[in-house]
Structure 1
Amino acid sequence: MWKGRFAQDTDEAVINFTQSLDLDWRMAMADIRGSVAHVRMLAHTGLLAADEAAVIEKNLREIADEIKKGEFTPKLSLEDVHMNIESRLIEKCGATGARLHMGRSRNDQVNTTVRLYLRKELLDIWEGLEALIATLLEKAEEHADVVVPGYTHLQQAQPISMGHFWMAHAQAFMRDARRLCSAYDAVDESPLGCGALAGSTLPLDREFTRADMGFARITENSMDTVAHRDHFLDVLYFAAVFGTHVSRLSEDLIIYFTTEFGWLKLPDSFCTGSSIMPQKKNPDVLELLRGKAGQLTGALVDLLTTVKGLPLSYDRDLQDDKRSLFRSLDCLKGIFSVLPALLKNVGVDEERANKGFADGLILATDVAEYLVLRGVPFRIAHEKVGRAVRWCIENKRPLDKLTLAEWQALIPEAEESLLPLLTPRRSVERRNTYGGTSPQQLRAQIGRAKEKLAAYEKEQAAHREKLPDML
């Protein structure tokens, strides 16, 4: 494509080193669709005769069919998907095909292709995320009345509804949904017409191509457009944060599944055994899911490091910008292929979970708040209950099994009304503040989450309707 300027052919080693065909061939349909928009605009502005535009578009669509049928074998010597398709076009319709690239640089062409490709990919990712959140909402409803220990510092803290646990993770993924929507918005701009960096002297109509490809708006500055990769970073940031949330959920389930905890039940179909120990049931799928966070975080750091300090505008460093991006998209799809299905089959052994309450100490905060309601300053109540806890430990007495006389000997303010409050279930039911763990608050929270999820679904459906054909 630049043979007119150079006296020597490109060295074969350079061709192999600089090619990106192994990376960008997956975007062939998007590249063709961007070219269709471009050629339509050239005809619209009079830069291309209507019959020439029709010939080019017809042949582009034929090339798309060749690719879909596996009849098109790209050549490494042509470097990338863009030049392979243009070369094939010229083979099919001669000099007319050579007119396609007027008013366009590979800088804005590649940018357009990736954005077209990414919009569809992100909508597919959304479907996986929506399925994951919906599954967690189902689990929250299923376990709304199941009481289990809640932990801080991985030490028993207060009793909670298991549904509240599921909703805690659902809320994190709901924030990821918002991040995904924001990433989509960043991608949803048309760069076509920016040229190499400065626009064009030709009378291009950028609004025409924007509308033809269904983008929400046009990028504002041609130099910035071909140079920045903020939209990639937004996608990778979503993926990295999502990965940390998947890792935390996986870690929780792995811990509660251990023999030492033992109150979470994982399906056999999502576990593996040992090659030497017949008794083993290993949570390998969850461990692999936990490990994916490293890949997703690494992809973000990879691109951040690449773009740091690059001068305006385009630099060849950016050719590899999509490697980490595409790996992350593939990684996300892998996560969604197993995680929702695994969660649907997770069970809870409430009886085993409640054995952890045997010493009753998980109810200590309930006693302190009981005293607060009787006028005892909280810090004093905290100290009184702390001494009672120490007495229970030293005398091997469960806190929730103390008699009224024992309570009054330890805490004179205690009355008979304290005793019926000291059960894990009652503790959960009484935590009825907004966002709290009580079944009443939990079901209200689930309802609000369903409404928000429905709004996200509507937003994504509207985006999908704007995608052009061929993608």
Structure 2
Amino acid sequence: MWHGRFREDTAEVVQEFTQSLDMDWRLAKYDIYGSIAHARMLGEVGIITKEESKLLEEGLRQVLKEIQEGTFSPKLSLEDVHMNIEARLTELIGPVGAKLHTGRSRNDQSATTVRLFLRKEMVDVGDGLLTLMDALIDRATAHRTVIVPGYTHLQQAQPISMGHYWLSHFWAFSRDFRRVLFALDSIDECPLGAGALAGSTLPLDREHTARLLGFKKPTDNSLDSVGHRDHMLDCQYALAVVMLHVSRLSEDLVIYGSREFGWLDLPDSFCTGSSMMPQKKNPDVLELARGRTGGVYGDLINLAVTMKALPSTYNRDMQEDKRPLWNSLQVVKDVLEVLPLLISRVEIDQEKALESFREGFALATDVAEYLVLKGVPFREAHAKVGKAVRWCIDNYKDLEELSLEEWKELIPEVEEDLLELMSLEQSVNRRETYGGTSFKQVALQIERGVKLLEEYRERLALYPAKFSL
């Protein structure tokens, strides 16, 4: 494609080193759609004839058919998906094929193709998140009145509704979904027509091309259009935070399902055994999800470092922008395929969960807040209850076992009404603050979550509908 300037052909070793087919062949369909829109625009503004525009489109659709049927094998010597498609097009329709690249560069062509691809991929990620959030709502509903220990520092802290626990992850993934929507918005501008960097002397209609491809508008500055990858970083960051939340959820489930905790049961079909130890039930799916998180973090740093000190505008380094993002997309889509199925079958052993509260003093905060309502300053109440806990530890007793006389000896302000509050269910249900763990508040959270999912589905549905050629 540049033989006019050079005396020598490109060395074979250079062709091998610079090719990008291993990364961009998956973009073929989107490259063809971008080319069809470009050909239509060229015909509309009169740069080529309507007949030539129609011939280009027919030829491009034939190339797409060959790719989909597997009869078109790309050539490494043609370097990338774009040149392979153009070369095959010219073979099919003759010299008119050479007119397709009028008014564009591979810089704006590639940038447009990637955005079309990413729009579909990020919609898929959004769909996966909605499925996961559905599974979390389902478990929250099933376990709304199931009481389990809540932890800070991995130490037993206060009793909570297991439904409340599931919803804590629902809200985390709902923020991830909004980040996916933000990434989709950042993708939603069309670089086609920006050229290599400075636009074109030809009368291109960039608004028309953007409309044909379903973008809300053309990009605003031709230099910036081909010189940034912010939209890819937005995607990469969204994927990294999804995996952060997946990893934390996986860690919890691995711990709560261990023999030492034992009150959470993972489905057998999502676990594996040991080749040596017959008794083992290993949470491999969760461990692999947790383990793949680091690679996605690395992909984010990879892309950021690639871009951090490049001079304006396009540099060949930017060919490597896709490698980390492709990996992250695959990891996240794989995780979102398996994790909702696993979550939907997690069960809780309520008896073991209640048993785990023994000697955990999970109601200590309730006693301190009871004293506050009796007029005791919180710091003083905190110290009094702390001393009572110490006495119980030394005397091998739980707070719930103390008689009124023992309470009064330890904390004179205690009255008989404390005893009726010393139950796990009372503790959970008295936490009626907005977003709290009471059964009523959890039911309200579930209701809000269901409505939010409906809204998210409507917002996500806008993106695929924007593009059809």
Secondary structure of residue in 1 paired with 2:197: coil
- Distance in 2 between the 1:299 and 1:3 partners? 36
Q: Does 1:215 align with 2:218?
A: no
1:172-211 to 2 correspondences below 5 Å:
172-211=172-211
1:101-250 to 2 correspondences below 5 Å:
101-250=101-250
- Distance in 2 between the 1:231 and 1:465 partners? 20
- 1:263-316: per-residue Cα shift (whole Å, max 9, x none)? 110111000000111111100111001012111111100000100110000000
Question: In structure 2, what is the equivalent of residue 58 of structure 1?
Answer: 58
After TM superposition, which residue ranges in structure 1, 4 or more long, deviate above 4 angstroms? none
Secondary structure of residue in 2 paired with 1:361: coil
- Distance in 2 between the 1:351 and 1:343 partners? 20
Question: In structure 2, what is the equivalent of residue 435 of structure 1?
Answer: 435
1:360, CA displacement in angstroms? Answer: 5.6
Flag structure 1 segments of 5+ consecutive residues without an equivalent: none
1:361, CA displacement in angstroms? Answer: 0.8
- Distance in 2 between the 1:9 and 1:330 partners? 37
Flag structure 2 segments of 5+ consecutive residues without an equivalent: none
Amino acid at match of 1:461: A
2:156 touches 2:360 (CA, 8 Å); kept in 1?
no
- Distance in 1 between the 2:453 and 2:345 partners? 22
Q: Does 1:78 align with 2:78?
A: yes
- Distance in 1 between the 2:101 and 2:284 partners? 51
Question: In structure 2, what is the equivalent of residue 33 of structure 1?
Answer: 33
1:20 touches 1:319 (CA, 8 Å); kept in 2?
yes
2:227 touches 2:312 (CA, 8 Å); kept in 1?
yes
- Distance in 1 between the 2:138 and 2:71 partners? 46
- Distance in 1 between the 2:43 and 2:252 partners? 59
Q: Does 1:380 align with 2:380?
A: yes
Q: Does 1:448 align with 2:445?
A: no
- Distance in 2 between the 1:8 and 1:71 partners? 32
Question: In structure 2, what is the equivalent of residue 333 of structure 1?
Answer: 333
1:326, CA displacement in angstroms? Answer: 0.7
1:146 touches 1:350 (CA, 8 Å); kept in 2?
yes
- Distance in 2 between the 1:248 and 1:273 partners? 23
Secondary structure of residue in 1 paired with 2:463: helix
- Distance in 2 between the 1:107 and 1:18 partners? 15
Question: In structure 1, what is the equivalent of residue 257 of structure 2?
Answer: 257
Q: Does 1:407 align with 2:385?
A: no
Give aligned-pair identity as a percent.
58
Question: In structure 2, what is the equivalent of residue 3 of structure 1?
Answer: 3
Which range is displaced more, 355-364 or 51-60?
355-364
Question: In structure 1, what is the equivalent of residue 367 of structure 2?
Answer: 367
2:107 touches 2:196 (CA, 8 Å); kept in 1?
yes
Question: In structure 2, what is the equivalent of residue 281 of structure 1?
Answer: 281
2:112 touches 2:190 (CA, 8 Å); kept in 1?
yes
1:103 touches 1:200 (CA, 8 Å); kept in 2?
yes
- Distance in 2 between the 1:53 and 1:72 partners? 23
Question: In structure 1, what is the equivalent of residue 358 of structure 2?
Answer: 358
1:315-334 to 2 correspondences below 5 Å:
315-334=315-334
2:223 touches 2:313 (CA, 8 Å); kept in 1?
yes
Question: In structure 1, what is the equivalent of residue 462 of structure 2?
Answer: 462
- Distance in 1 between the 2:444 and 2:216 partners? 35
CA RMSD of aligned residues (A): 0.7
Secondary structure of residue in 2 paired with 1:140: helix
Amino acid at match of 1:305: V
- Distance in 2 between the 1:281 and 1:53 partners? 62
2:30 touches 2:116 (CA, 8 Å); kept in 1?
yes
Normalised by the size of structure 2, how large is the TM-score?
A: 0.99
- Distance in 1 between the 2:268 and 2:360 partners? 33
Q: 1:205 to 1:278 in 2, by over 3 A?
A: same
1:359 touches 1:400 (CA, 8 Å); kept in 2?
no
- 1:134-160: per-residue Cα shift (whole Å, max 9, x none)? 110111111000000000000000000
Normalised by the size of structure 1, how large is the TM-score?
A: 0.99
1:359, CA displacement in angstroms? Answer: 2.2
1:360 touches 1:400 (CA, 8 Å); kept in 2?
no
1:112 touches 1:190 (CA, 8 Å); kept in 2?
yes
2:38 touches 2:209 (CA, 8 Å); kept in 1?
yes
Amino acid at match of 2:269: S
